[in-house]
Structure 1
Amino acid sequence: MSERKDEKYAIYVENLIKVYSGGLKALEGVSLEVNEGEIHAVVGPNGAGKTTLMRILTTQIQPTSGHARVLGYDVRSESGAVRKLISYVPQEFSVWTDITGYENLLFYSKIYGIPSDKRHRIISDALELMGLSEASGRLVRTYSGGMIRRLEIAAALMVKPRVIFLDEPTIGLDPRAREVVWEKLLEYQKEYRVTVLFNTHYMDEAERYAEKVTFLNRGRVIAEGTPQELVKLLGGETIKVWIEGESGRASNILSSIDGIQVLSAKSNQLIIVTPDSSVMLPKIVQTLSKTGIEVRSTTVSRPTLEDVFIKLTGMSIEEAEKASGLREVRTVRRAIRAGG
């Protein structure tokens, strides 16, 4: 008997729709395929539907329509089987600060049903993996933000999941703390070949750690592929130009030049993509100067996922969050907590 398509993947999502009470649409026909052992990022602004998608895949809420399977099991009709094979680290705080790191994991080990004679070894292994052995006897209120996040991940890894879901795993952490969290995660992923699906709005994080990336915006998938494939959508190098005055007029002038694509013109900055910056940068500066626009500074860099997102949506992640509206984001979050 041939293998069904939805059984070939660690995570398979087809035309998933979620409408919360009140008619608010969080997901509008999302489809997604994640291979076993893959690190896959879902990238988008707050309010894009990332957390809703993850809550559905971890069986916490049900979709309005569509299909989703994790390791071949349907998230609706076989939710118990799914939960035995996965772990989930939410964006919200999930440990207690008035007890020690070890006591937190002991509490979770009992929730997970880990046999009492195996708990100490499993807890010690998880703490060591996350670099928390020496701090395990301290109250969690004395931990840094990065240490707390690693403790939450340690709790999730005690059951040796085949798929781990991470909702904004490094949000609010400083760059070094983010790096340490990922160093530890990658050690575990490499050893056990666990599938990792993580949500983030940090483009650099997705570009650096994910094997595949799905862009989600306003409940829809707008692009997916490897970071390299997505960056190729731009077809060139990125030039950032800072000018005196507003950028709208400069954008209109430069858009008429062959070989130049203006991705963004906000305030006094333009983001431009061109196949050959060595040829086009002098031409850009010269053209603007001739029309009375003073160029203050320029930079040239390789395209990033942030540039791709701007091309696809016409705005940055931060601008997309503002466009979706704080009230809408809060409404979705309240609906998620209530179970939709």
Structure 2
Amino acid sequence: MFKNMKLSAKISLGFGLLILIAVGLGGLACWSMLGVKGTATQLAQEIVPEVVLVNNIERTVLQTMFAARGYAYTESTQFLEEAMGKLGEVKENLKTTAEHGRKFNNKQLVNEVDAVTAKITEYETLFNQRINLVNQMQKEKEKSCLLADQFQASCTQFLDSQFSMMDQTLNTAGTDNNSDIKTLADVQRDRIVKIKLVDEIVSLGNTIRVGTWKAIANRDMEELKKSRSLFDQVNTKLDSLKAITKQEVNLKQIEDCRSAGNAYAKCMDNFLQNWVDKETLTQKAATVSTDATVLAKDTSVGAMKGA
């Protein structure tokens, strides 16, 4: 049949086949381009934004943990503000990423973001509790400074009164015909004992005060407990002082000193308890922050592999 065809027919058939092949190839190319377009669209609208979002989560989580750790060590408001700011960014990034996952029906991404969100929420709760404890500890420190001043002031007033009465006794000695040298000596000896006791109390107070701030500066809880125990000696000496004191004004000064000392000791007890609670929270927060960081990293790595 093909042999019997005219040359013009053969040429027409050949061109027709070429056109058909060209159309087929063009159609195949268009089909392939449509596939590439779909992949490119998915890449541009879903995968690349997902990679950016999850990397933002990992980055801000790490920045939050760094600032929070700085606050834990220094209690600096600068680190606190930075940590709170970065924590806000983390939550915003998590929200945006979750919305992105739901938009493209990416259940795996949504589940991973939910897991990170749960850890971040837990961490935020612990972090806020730690902030409250730090604030309470700061108040106890400020209160203890005032009480220490009151303690020292009461001791100073007692000493001043003893020195004043001693001067008065010495100035009048010999002018009173009825004065008894032995009696005067006993009175002065009694005052010297009182002065010595108060001097020891003041010395203990200074030791407690210096030891307290040294313990705080060195983050040495045992040193603070050691300083706290010295108040037992203070109260013992105050009892001894009270036993040989008769003047009402001096007895009041002794009780004022005792009251300030006991209040100072109470501040130390509160500070120690808050310190213990803060350390416990810090350990819990460290564990949670590690979990959150690992989850954020895994989510980021998963997105990169998926891309």
- Identify whether the pair has TM-score above 0.5, normalized to the shorter chain: no
Q: Which has the higher contact order (CA 8 A, sep 6+)?
A: 2
Which structure shows the bigger proportion of residues in strand conformation? Answer: 1
Higher helix share: 2
TM-score by length of 2: 0.26
